[in-house]
Amino acid sequence: MRLLTVLCFLWLSVGVFARHFPLKVKNVADFNYVATPCSSNTSSAWLDIILLIDNSATMGNASLRQIGLSLSSEFSQYTIGPYGSSASRVAIVTYNAGANLIGDFNALSTIQKITAALTSIRQTNVVQIEYGLYDALEIARDMAQLAYEQCTSENGFYHQPNPAAVVLFGAQAPFVDSIDKITQVANQLKSWANLITVNYNVNSVDLTNFLNSIATPYMNLSVSKTLYDDLEFNLMQTNCFCDFGPQLSAFDPVKNRVVKYAECSYNSEELGLTWGTAEALCNSYQSNVVLAPLTSSLRYNFTVSIYQNALPGFMVDPIYIGLHRNSRKAWVWYDYDGSEIPDSGSFSNWAPGYGFNSTGDCVAIQGGNAEKSSSYLWINAACNITTTNIDNARCGYHACDASNMYQSALAGLNHRCVIFESDVKKKKAFEARRKLLKETRKNKNKA
């Protein structure tokens, strides 16, 4: 059973929230839900977690005991194991006047070792943390960077690794004149990791302002009844990212935070693919990339906002999406595994004169050639791109998350979620993209 924190001065009046996903998410078997949530399965998470724990006298033995027990309980739900497996790793650093590495990923190789280390942390007599926090963040930065580089260089595969999660438990603010230096290290660290801060002394305005300013946006937590639920949520959000292209996210007004979903997308043109049918525009590189399913207004709005925010001259129009008539003439979408999902009819955005009964077995969204068009409405189009001359498609794939580690059959064993078969293909794709953009700009200047 989860051990909840006893210190709950805050948010007592807020009541009980839905634990993870605020927006109504239907059964995954029903494709017409709002969007795919990031996996919350901690036992299959593959995260590098670095704990930085203030053990000054200000934190005190009681809080340290509570942190140790709560974290031990949290990590007992994870699979602790070596790098390259579907498992997580934990490292612990305490800080006061200086920083002390209690155990790195190798030393803390089992949940027993992690629990023993966590529950033996005691307060020191140090009243001022001085440079301890700076040193602790430097240790975390170097560890996170090393893990990141280990990941990018695996067998020559080139891909975006999962960021590490650095969790900073703070009880006191650093000296005013060291804040700039500490902030600098925190910013460096955020190239390789999410920085989750946990405020254990909410009465200190200095500490609160400081932690809020260095945390990854929306990852500033404080002591409350829901602290360890919030922490778990942020850890699982960290273990949910896109190898390429933007990630679907939405603001949750109840929890006052941005929620990432396990969905990534990009425009086919970004890969310079211009042959075959509409379907082939997306899956030429990998079979796990499909024409984007825009089955809900959340998915549709997000896609439209990407095109609306495109730089002038980079606007593309129209753009194929995943809705199409299959060989039995039924209207279906592609799911991320390539399977067919019938359209429920619950969400559509047809332009006047177009619809389910119109000619054209594929569907494209069209902004009417106006830059930053507000409406990208649906039009029917043939699926043969030679006939339509439409060479853009919105492509989508399932994000890398706890349920999706070995995404690519082509990538071989032990690869942490890759969408490109090899760095060679990825480089070629980016070269094609650069060439295409150059030509687009040239043509635009001529016009």
Residues contributing to the site for ligand NAG (CB under 6 A): 41, 43-44, 61, 79, 122-123, 212, 220-222, 277, 297-298, 301, 355-357, 384, 386-387
Pair 243, 419: CB distance under 8 Å: yes
DSSP-assigned beta bridge partners for residue 377: 366
Measure the CA–CA gap between 360 and 112, rounded to whole angstroms.
61
Measure the CA–CA gap between 393 and 71, rounded to whole angstroms.
45
Measure the CA–CA gap between 382 and 328, rounded to whole angstroms.
16
Pair 400, 416: CB distance under 8 Å: yes
CB 197 to ligand NAG: min, Å: 9
Of 245, 160, 149, the closest CA to residue 418 belongs to 160
Amino acid at 305: S
User: What tokens were used for 92?
Assistant: 């612990």
Taking the least distance from each CB to ligand NAG, the nearer of 27 and 357 is 357
Kindly report the number of other CB atoms within 10 A of residue 127's CB atom: 12
Tell me 220's DSSP state. Answer: E
Starting at the earlier edge strand, list the strands of the sheet with 319-325.
Answer: 340-342, 331-334, 319-325, 362-366, 377-381
Pair 387, 250: CB distance under 8 Å: no
DSSP-assigned beta bridge partners for residue 196: 167
CB 442 to ligand NAG: min, Å: 27
Which secondary-structure segment (H or E) carries 384? none
- Left, alpha or beta for 417 (phi > 0: left; psi -120 to 50: alpha)? left
Q: Residue 415 half-sphere exposure, CB side, CA atoms within 13 Å?
A: 23
User: What tokens were used for 345?
Assistant: 């009819």
CB 295 to ligand NAG: min, Å: 12
Taking the least distance from each CB to ligand NAG, the nearer of 44 and 145 is 44
Backbone φ and ψ of 79, nearest 5°: -95, 115
CB 57 to ligand NAG: min, Å: 7
Pair 414, 85: CB distance under 8 Å: yes
Measured in residues, the chain has a length of 447
Measure the CA–CA gap between 445 and 442, rounded to whole angstroms.
5
Instruction: Give CA separation, 154 vs 94, 144, 146, 345, 425, in Å.
Output: 31, 16, 13, 44, 16
